[in-house]
Every structure is written in structure tokens, then in C-alpha cells.
Structure 1
Amino acid sequence: MTREISGRWAIHETMGAKPKAEFLGPGLQSVTLPIYLSAGLGVRPRTVLERVEGMVEAGTAEYLVIGNRPVGGNPFRLTGSSETWNTIFNRGELAKATLSITLEEYA
């Protein structure tokens, strides 16, 4: 998991002096999460990919919980996903896939 936390800043130009920086407040946090899906580990990769696709297209926002603790203080919205189909059996059954999801804080 990669988590990015930032602040929002404005730069004001001044005549004959260096620009002045002004802190506006915290920025939105973002998370990128790679996920390995394998039928051998008891999941149905295609079902998970379809659910994630539905969440991206519906604009769903949920709390991100890892280890029974929420990440950040606000829910995150799923802004995008990228999938790689690694192993497909001869009848078209997806056995292994790699999924990367991108989340942004929903304040």
C-alpha cells in the first residue's frame, strides 16, 4: 500500500521580494493498493474484479480498514482500478489476477 498525505499551499507573488507561501489547510489523502487474487487462495478473481468495477462506476465511498483500524479519519472513494489477468484456464475461467486500486479521501 502506498499512502500520500499532502498540504495545500498558495504562493503569493510580491514586488521586489521572494514569493510568500500561505498554508491553506490539509489536502486530500490518496492510497494505491495492489491486490493479488488467486482461485487457489479461495477467491473468485472475476467476481472480485466485477465488484470493484461496480464500485468505481457507482462512486462508492467507504472507510478503509486495515488490521481492525481505519486508515485516516474520513471515508475513501474508489477513483480507479487497473487489472491484469495472469492465468486463464482453457475454458475461460480466470484463475489468477492482479488488481491495483486507487482511492482518494472523501471529506
Structure 2
Amino acid sequence: MIGTFGTVLVFEVSDNRVLTFSGMTREVSSRWTDHEVMGVKPKPEFLGPGNQTVSLTITLSSSLGVRPRQMLERVANMVERGQVEYLIIDCKPVSKNPFRITGSSEAWNTLYNGGELARANLTLTLEEYT
């Protein structure tokens, strides 16, 4: 197993199924404010850490043992319900806090004659939930 995002997205490579992601990016930020002072430069003050964000693209392919349409519907339900989950990669959480899906973008790449979705790309944007 490569990792998980809740129970819906289990990233793995096995004899029966391949579900992986690519192009994962993580942004870690901090929060600052500037106090204006007469006659001198503003004084910065550290307020604390900002929320981390993660973006990743997942390839869903029926030839790799994944049902793309079913997976897209399950992820859409997570987004619309505001589900919060830990993102686990290599048996370690990416953050000490769970993440929420703030955006989901689908690309339906291959459809069979009967309309069955055979291959799709799913891009997720996650934000740390504190």
C-alpha cells in the first residue's frame, strides 16, 4: 500500500488493482501581520502557521482494476458532504491534522461504445482542517 485518504481512496499497486497519484505538491505557509509605526518601517509579527494545502492527480483506469465512474461518484460525495480525512503516505500522515477536499476536477478521457467510463483523471485540492 502506498497510502490512503480515508477509506475511499486507497493508493496501492497489487496484482488486481493499480491506484496511484502523480504530481503531488504540498504548500506549507505561515501567517504574518505588519504593524504600522510612525516614521519607521512596519514591524512584522508572526501569528502562527497557516493551513497546509496539497494537490494531486489520480489516474482512474478500468484496465488497472479501478471502476472510474464509481470512484468519481464516491469522491464527489466526500466533497459535497465536507468529509475530513487524514492523508497517509508511506504509513505516515502528511500533516498532524486531517484534510478537507476544497476542489475536485474530473477529466473523462476514454468512454466505451456503451457509455462506460474506462479512463479518467481526477485532480484533488486538499486543505488542512484544524
Q: Which residue number in structure 2 is paired with residue 91 of structure 1?
A: 114
The residue identity in structure 2 corresponding to 1:38 is S
Cα deviations by residue, 1:2-55 (Å, 9 ceiling, x for unpaired): 100000000111111111110000000010011011101000000110001000
Secondary structure of the equivalent of 1:16? coil
Provide TM-score, normalisation by structure 2.
0.81
Q: Which residue number in structure 2 is paired with residue 101 of structure 1?
A: 124
Measure how far apart 1:100 and its partner are: 0.3
Secondary structure of the equivalent of 1:17? coil
RMSD: 0.6
How many Å separate the matches in 1 of 2:103 and 2:75? 9
Secondary structure of the equivalent of 1:50? helix
Count, aligned residues:
107
How many Å separate the matches in 1 of 2:42 and 2:81? 42
Runs (4+) of structure 1 exceeding 2 A deviation are none
Cα deviations by residue, 1:34-90 (Å, 9 ceiling, x for unpaired): 101110100000011000100000000010011111111011011110000000111
Secondary structure of the equivalent of 1:91? coil
How many Å separate the matches in 1 of 2:90 and 2:62? 23
* 1:3-82 matches, cutoff 5 A: 3-82=26-105
